[in-house]
Amino acid sequence: MARLFGTDGVRGLANRDLTAGLALGLAQASAVVLTSGRRAELRRAQGRRPVAVVARDPRISGEFITSAVAAGLASSGVDVLDAGVIPTPAAAFLIADIGADFGVMISASHNPAPDNGIKFFAFGGTKLPDDVEDRIEAVLAAGDQLLTPIAGDVGRIRRFADAEDRYVVHLLGTLPHRLDGIHVVLDCAHGAAAGVSPQVFTDAGARVTVIGADPDGLNINDGVGSTHLDNLARAVLEHGADVGIAHDGDADRCLAVDRDGNIVDGDQIMAILAVSMAERGVLTDNTLVATVMSNLGLKKAMAANGISMIESKVGDRYVLEELDAHGLSLGGEQSGHVIMTKFATTGDGILTGLHLVAEMARTGKSLAELASVMTVFPQILVNVRGVDHHALAGDEVIAQAIRDAELELGDTGRVLLRPSGTEPMVRVMVEAADQPTADRLAHALAEVVQSRLALPVA
């Protein structure tokens, strides 16, 4: 049977894949697994119940899924604090801030409104490792024999009244410099950032223009946010703003636009923050964590500034693993998931945006000037579908084609072939000093992969 949990919780089409019944069962199973430790047992010994924070983004299906999750938790003897619509990183922060036993975020991030997801956080607001997710699945599969709670031992469901205020105060407390004098356009993706991001940037001293901040439950990520930057670029130019900041639906990402409408991606944002933190002596071990998909220009920029770089697998959870393993302070992905471990346990788009704009204020430089610390190498990604991706590693013809491409590129580019973890597909990524070279080599490698690994047509 396919694993229920994906790379970021349980996701699917709401009310078809992700039903109220599944949400309730997952909540009950999570209560069994996440309240089995000594901390929860001590609570019970003191006559107190375990506590969970539950939050969601504004998509319409989040209403019934949140109700099902809260019912499942309360029926399992867990007290629920309903934080309402807040960003994913806010939920993670609140779990740690109040010492809750665990938490649940209902969101499908940058996906369209019909989708939704359920993500669990452990004590301290950290993501669950695979083995804990597997235990939750096992309990869910076991059914009533493990999910039946003690008669009468039920939790309460209460509103987390000051959830948003706590998070705002936290964000403001992280700033190394106020944002006075900077005009920021915020694109909140009609998502969870709409109620928080404008307030925080305003309180931090910025002049704020807001777009994409009218969520109606159906318009989340619809032509707005970090996956649709054209509107933000136009707004920055129209208003003569200094910078544009874009979030995704649950506000764990941040991408930016400079005053000329040019996109500044997650790699460039990490480069800016890493150099700033190194200058201020707060970049632990002068080391940045990024994924294997980050642009070669990031690695070269870090080397030029005396900063080491550790590469992780693709996915913010793997960035977090490397950050935790080495005790480091900064990491992230090209997509805009940036993790600052001193202030957050997960990617936080509002936090990232604040610190990016704070660096503009601190240095007096434009975003374009700051981003020039990194030269972005032309990059192309070709998805080769309908192939036996499991056979990629053992094919010597493909390996030789890769070596030939790398020999041609030398130190002016790189090649990465990566099998999909979920479907018969191989991703071919090439970076080069110029776009034509990148395009030519990528498509040539894609043809070799297709010819060697093509699956029989049914």
| CATH number, residue 38 | 3.40.120.10
- Tell me how far CA of residue 80 lies from CA of 67, 99, 444, in angstroms: 11, 13, 55
For residue 5, tell me if it sits in a domain: no
Neighbours of 101 (CB within 10 A): 21
On the question of pLDDT at 152 being above 90, the answer is no
| pLDDT interval class at 316 (50, 70, 90) | confident
CA distances from 40 to 139, 153, 344 (A): 18, 14, 24
**Cβ atoms 169, 230 nearer than 8 A:** no
**How many domains is the chain built from?**
3
Indicate the residue among 161, 188, 205 that finishes a domain. Answer: 161
Of 336, 371, 406, the residue that ends a domain is 371
Cβ 135 vs Cβ 146: under 8 Å: no
If asked whether residues 120 and 246 sit together in one domain, one would say no
What is the pLDDT of the chain when averaged over all its residues? 94
Position 51 in a domain? yes
146 or 244, higher pLDDT: 244
Whether residue 399 is found in the same domain as residue 366: no
Q: Tell me, yes or no, if 109 is annotated catalytic.
A: yes
Within a domain: 458 = no
Whether 91 is in a domain gets the answer yes
Question: Do residues 201 and 258 both lie within one domain?
Answer: yes
pLDDT at site 243: 98
What radius of gyration, in Å, describes the C-alpha atoms of the chain? 23
Q: Are residues 334 and 384 in the same domain?
A: no
* pLDDT at res. 48: 80
CB 9 within 8 A of CB 119: yes
pLDDT tens digit sequence for 411-452:
899 999 988 876 899 999 999 999 999 999 999 999 999 999
Query: How far apart (Å, rounded) are the C-alpha atoms in residues 191 and 87?
Result: 8
- Whether residue 347 sits in one domain with residue 328: yes
Asked whether 220 and 58 are in contact (CB, 8 A), the reply is yes
Task: Specify whether 186 is located in the same domain as 332.
Answer: yes
CA 30 vs. chain centroid, Å, equals: 22
Give the pLDDT mean for 312-316: 88
Q: What pLDDT sits at residue 142? A: 87
Q: CA 432, CA 183: separation in Å to the nearest integer?
A: 35
User: Is 250 labelled a binding residue?
Assistant: yes
Provide the residue range defining the domain that includes 32.
10-161
CB 109 within 8 A of CB 252: yes
CA dist 449 and 57 (Å) reads 40
In a domain, 2, yes or no: no
pLDDT band at 456 (very low <50, low <70, confident <90, very high): confident
Angle at 264 between CA 254 and CA 431, to 5 degrees: 115
For the ranges 135-144, 225-234, 370-379, the lowest mean pLDDT is seen at 135-144
More confident: 406 or 43: 406
Task: Please check whether residue 130 lies inside any domain of the structure.
Answer: yes
Is residue 40 scored above 70 in pLDDT? no
Residue 249 has pLDDT above 70, yes or no: yes
> Measured between alpha carbons, how far is 203 from 404 in angstroms, rounded to an integer?
55
252 annotated among ligand-binding-site residues: yes
CB proximity list for 249: less than 8 A, separation 6 or greater: 57, 59, 107, 108, 109, 110, 111, 189, 190, 191, 192, 220, 221, 225
Residue at 3 is within a domain:
no
Residues 184 and 156 grouped into a single domain: no
Residue 387 domain-assigned (yes or no): yes
Identify whether residues 277 and 356 lie together within a single domain. yes
Residue with the two structure tokens 């009468």 = 152
Residues 417, 358 within the same domain: no
Q: What is the CATH number of the domain that holds 447?
A: 3.30.310.50
**Which pLDDT does position 37 carry in this prediction?**
67
Q: Report how far residue 419's alpha carbon sits from residue 169's, in angstroms, rounded to the nearest whole number.
A: 43
SS3 51: strand
Average pLDDT over residues 72-95: 97
> What does residue 163 show for φ and ψ, rounded to 5 degrees?
-55, -50
Neighbours of 234 (CB within 10 A): 15
User: Mean pLDDT over residues 375-404, rounded?
Assistant: 93
User: Judging by DSSP bridges, how do beta strands 79-85 and 51-56 pair with one another?
Assistant: parallel
Q: How far is CA 208 from CA 133, 172, 403, 410, in A?
A: 40, 16, 50, 45
* 222 known ligand binder: no
For 295, residues 6+ apart whose C-beta sits below 8 A from its C-beta are 267, 334, 374, 376, 377, 379, 431
Task: Write down the catalytic residue from 61, 75, 76, 109.
Answer: 109
Query: Could you tell me the pLDDT band of residue 145, with boundaries at 50, 70 and 90?
Result: low
Structure-token pair, residue 434: 């110029």
Q: Are residues 407 and 315 in the same domain?
A: no
Are residues 221 and 95 part of one domain?
A: no
Closest listed residue to residue 107, CA positions, set 61, 41, 151: 61
Per the structure block, which two tokens stand in for 147? 């999910």
- DSSP-derived secondary structure letter, 342: T
pLDDT of residue 42: 72
The answer to whether 388 is a known ligand-binding residue is: no
Strands 207-211 and 157-159: unpaired
Task: Specify burial of residue 396 (Cβ count, 10 A radius: 0-12, 13-18, 19+).
Answer: exposed
The structure tokens listed for 385 are 């579908």
